[in-house]
Amino acid sequence: MSSVSIPRRMKRRKYTRRDSQAYLYLAPWVIGFFLLQFYPFVMSLVYSFCNYQLGTTPVFNGLDNYVRLFTRDADFIRSLRATGIFTVAVVPGKLILSLAVAMFLNREMKGINLARTVYYIPSLFGGSVAVSVLWKILFQDNGIINAWINALGFQTVQFWGDPRYALGTICSLEIWQFGSSMVMFLAALKQVPRSLYEAASIDGAGAWSKFWHVTIPQISPIIFFNMIMQTIQALQNFTSSSVITNGGPLKSTYVLGLKLYKEAFTNFKMGYASAISWVMFLIIMVVTLLLFRFSSAWVSYDD
Amino acid sequence: MKKKTVANTIFSYLLIILIGMILIFPIVWMFCAAFKTNEEIFGSTGILPRAWTGEGFRVWLAENEGGGFWQYFGSLFHNFSESWLGTGRNSYAVFFWNSFKLVIPTVLLTLVSSTLVAYGFARFNFAGKKILFGILIGTLMLPNAVVIIPRYAMYAGWGWVDTYLPFHVPAALAAAPFFVYMLIQFMRGLPRDLDESAYIDGCSTFRTLVQILLPLMVPALFSAGLFQFMWTYNDYFNSLVFINSATKYTVSLGLRLSLDGESVVNWGKMMAASCIAVLPLIILFFAAQKYFVEGIATTGMKG
């Protein structure tokens, strides 16, 4: 993102009368920013230091919400854990799978476009309720996956009933939708100059070495962009846990998004929920900063 | 050497087909399950329904509850009258109608507002541009979870809860920075000489946008529109938060309602409903595949 640059040509010119019209075009967004982003952003921080039931006046209570979250709310710790596991499994899982498949599909073959199309289809459904319902049925104790497991002579796996498997099964739903990152990677791979691979071949580089020393550095900005966006998304995951397991069994899938929703819109503890949202936000900030920090080591923006 | 490449190609095709089958299996199964009874869905290893061919299919359609749903959906086109609009809260025709009332204006307003704002950023040079652009990129990473609570409090105060205004107004104010960013990137790729010469000829900035740039932006607008459609249509979290009464439920909420509302869930019917729910996405995807791919490819690329 830091590579966004304003064309040189423009910098030389002074602002003209025509240019002042820009504010007119930006007006909706500026209003939207203050009303729908900046103000709510600040207010959620303010609420997080308040005891605020919906419909009442917020009362300042200092760090109470945060202290309670970390010392007296075992469910919150479980949520952190569930979201942590989910993010750590889904983000790398999706990235590696989509990159591997993109590498594999990045070739000239008859019918390859059909494959790309089919692989993209699961991504269409995103966080829709329909696919969550579908996953719930597929992986039920007497669902088709278990019917196959039984047919192979194994015992029924309680995908939704066993706290060891439930979160992993939800992760599989997310990883199934790797198509849109795959398409992004495919587009990026097409941009890598052939000459680089040829030069590497002349230097005696094998396929593996080409992958690490040519492909990865060349597409690193896309990997990075994907990594950040997917992490932000994964930390807020909600639909699958809400629809399929409602956080169970034994709160093993009680992700932060679900915890936030329940505190805010079932218990109407807006202050407490705001504190959760700020913990979430701080985690996102820290993870993003860390990613940016480490990105300088491997992301190259040389073009 | 030649033998090896042939073997290689065959292996590649087998792998591509195998992965494709795994990925598409859940969707195919969902479609087939829409024609099954509960007994057929559970404990069976088969994918295809028993009553699939010829007359049996028709009879099943007519008798089964799932079939009733299909007929009902058919009536959406033949018999658009109040009699069935008012048949109660489980009516998917109403849910669909609601979904479109929510989604279509959101998509159109997003396109209009994002185009105006993107034009301001891409074609004007004004004081504070760098800062404003930085803010735009920053909001790209601002998680929805952080702003939703104060937004809810705000909307509740204005009486917007249980209407579609929490979706339409942010769209009109370009509150989805992703699309602004996407269109800025696209506009930057259009030759500047075009609109500059139009300006010199005395064309107003707005006319330049509408008459010169807009026709060139059709593919980008298509992509943005498709994505906004897909995301808003699939959205569950925001709909759940802002919409309370069943008469205003969207398809996502309707699915959830059917899942929770019945003590013995008819899974075949559930799957029929899910099929219908994802149908608009699938139709759009096949009708406008090119724009999906281009949209994904351009957003990730230049950042």
Select the more confidently predicted residue: A83 or B42: A83
Q: What is the least distance, in Å, from the CA of B76 to any CA of chain A?
A: 20
Distance CA B303, CA B299 (A): 7
Q: Domains, chain B, ranges and CATH? A: 2-54 (no CATH), 92-302 (1.10.3720.10)
Distance CA B278, CA A126 (A): 11
Q: Which of residues 134-173 of A touch B (CB under 8 A)?
A: 134-135, 137-138, 140, 142-144, 147-148, 151
| Residue B214 pLDDT | 92
Q: What is the DSSP string of B155-197?
A: HHHHT-TTSSHHHHHHHHTT--HHHHHHHHHHHHTS-HHHHHH
> Two tokens at A3?
């590579």
CB contact under 8 A, B146 and A20: no
Cα-Cα end-to-end distance for chain B? 43
| Residue B303 pLDDT | 32
**A90 vs B: CB within 8 A:** no
User: Contact, A205 vs A213, CB < 8 A?
Assistant: yes
User: Contact, B173 vs A28, CB < 8 A?
Assistant: yes
> Could you say which of B13, B125, B275 has the minimum Cβ distance to residue A19?
B125
pLDDT tens digits along B130-155: 999 999 999 988 999 999 999 999 99
CB contact under 8 A, B148 and A222: no
User: Contact, A220 vs A299, CB < 8 A?
Assistant: yes
Query: Measured between beta carbons, which residues in chain A are less than 8 angstroms from residue B113?
Result: 28-29, 32
CB contact under 8 A, B172 and A239: no
User: Contact, B287 vs B273, CB < 8 A?
Assistant: no
- Helix locations, chain A, DSSP H: 8-12, 17-20, 22-32, 39-48, 64-71, 74-105, 112-120, 129-138, 144-151, 166-176, 179-191, 194-202, 207-210, 216-235, 239-240, 256-265, 270-298
3-state SS class at A266: coil
pLDDT-based confidence at B5, cuts 50/70/90? confident
User: Contact, B163 vs A255, CB < 8 A?
Assistant: no
The percentage of chain B sitting over the pLDDT mark of 70, rounded to a whole number, equals 82
Select the more confidently predicted residue: B111 or B259: B111
CB contact under 8 A, A36 and B234: no
Q: DSSP secondary-structure letter at B87? A: S
Phi, psi of A106 (to 5 degrees): -85, 70
Q: DSSP secondary-structure letter at B264? A: S
Q: Is the ipTM of this complex over 0.90?
A: no
CB contact under 8 A, B150 and A47: yes
Q: What is the least distance, in Å, from the CA of B190 to any CA of chain A?
A: 13
CB neighbours of residue B222 within 10 Å: 17
Bridge partners of A53, per DSSP, are A269
Q: What is the least distance, in Å, from the CA of B212 to any CA of chain A?
A: 16
Q: Which chain B residue has its CA at the smallest distance from A3's CA?
A: B303
Give how far Cα B183 sits from Cα of A259, B117, B206, Å: 35, 9, 16
Q: At B4, which helix (H) or strand (E)? A: helix B2-33
| Residue A138 pLDDT | 92
Query: Measured between beta carbons, which residues in chain A are less than 8 angstroms from residue B117?
Result: 25-26, 28-29
CB contact under 8 A, A280 and B233: no
Looking at every residue in chain B, the average pLDDT score rounds to 81
| Residue B197 pLDDT | 85
Query: Measured between beta carbons, which residues in chain B are less than 8 angstroms from residue A35?
Result: 173
Q: In one letter, which amino acid is B163?
A: T
Q: What is the DSSP string of B22-83?
A: HHHHHHHHHHHHTT--HHHHSS----S-SS-SHHHHHHHHHHSHHHHHHHHHHHHHH--SHH
Q: At B284, which helix (H) or strand (E)? A: helix B267-287
Q: What is the least distance, in Å, from the CA of A31 to any CA of chain B?
A: 7
**A192 vs B: CB within 8 A:** no
Query: Which of A17, A26, A33 to probe the B interface (max B CBs under 10 A)?
Result: A26
CB contact under 8 A, A131 and B233: no
Query: Measured between beta carbons, which residues in chain B are less than 8 angstroms from residue A16?
Result: 125
Closest CA to B146 of A236, A258, A53, A289: A236
pLDDT-based confidence at B54, cuts 50/70/90? very low
Give how far Cα B62 sits from Cα of B65, B276, B277, Å: 8, 17, 21
CB contact under 8 A, B285 and A124: yes
Residue A4, phi-psi category: left (phi > 0), alpha (psi -120 to 50), beta (remainder): beta
What's the CATH class of domain A79-263+291-298?
A: mainly alpha
> Could you say which of B29, B47, B281 has the minimum Cβ distance to residue A125?
B281
> Could you say which of B116, B126, B292 has the minimum Cβ distance to residue A19?
B126
CB neighbours of residue B279 within 10 Å: 14
pLDDT tens digits along A215-233: 998 888 889 888 988 999 9
| Residue A85 pLDDT | 96
Find the mean pLDDT for residues B174-182.
92
| Residue B189 pLDDT | 87
Query: Measured between beta carbons, which residues in chain A are less than 8 angstroms from residue B154?
Result: 39-40
> Could you say which of B20, B147, B149 has the minimum Cβ distance to residue A37?
B147
pLDDT means over runs of 10, chain A (303 residues): 50 69 93 95 96 90 94 94 96 95 88 88 90 92 90 92 94 93 89 89 88 89 89 93 92 95 94 96 91 80 57
Residue found under tokens 């009516």: B91
Q: What is the least distance, in Å, from the CA of A129 to any CA of chain B?
A: 6
Size of interface A-B (CB pairs under 8 A): 284
User: Contact, B250 vs B239, CB < 8 A?
Assistant: yes
- Helix locations, A49-153, DSSP H: 64-71, 74-105, 112-120, 129-138, 144-151
pLDDT tens digits along B61-105: 443 344 445 555 444 433 333 333 333 445 777 888 899 999 999
Q: Cβ contacts of residue A57 below 8 Å, gap of 6+? A: none
Residue B202 has pLDDT above 50, yes or no: yes
Q: What is the least distance, in Å, from the CA of A33 to any CA of chain B?
A: 7
Give me the residue spans of the domains in chain A: 79-263+291-298
Q: What is the least distance, in Å, from the CA of B128 to any CA of chain A?
A: 10
Q: Which chain A residue has its CA at the smallest distance from B188's CA?
A: A7
CB contact under 8 A, B230 and A260: no
Phi, psi of A50 (to 5 degrees): -125, 155
Query: Which of B125, B195, B267 to probe the A interface (max A CBs under 10 A)?
Result: B125
Residue found under tokens 């010469």: B197
pLDDT-based confidence at B2, cuts 50/70/90? low
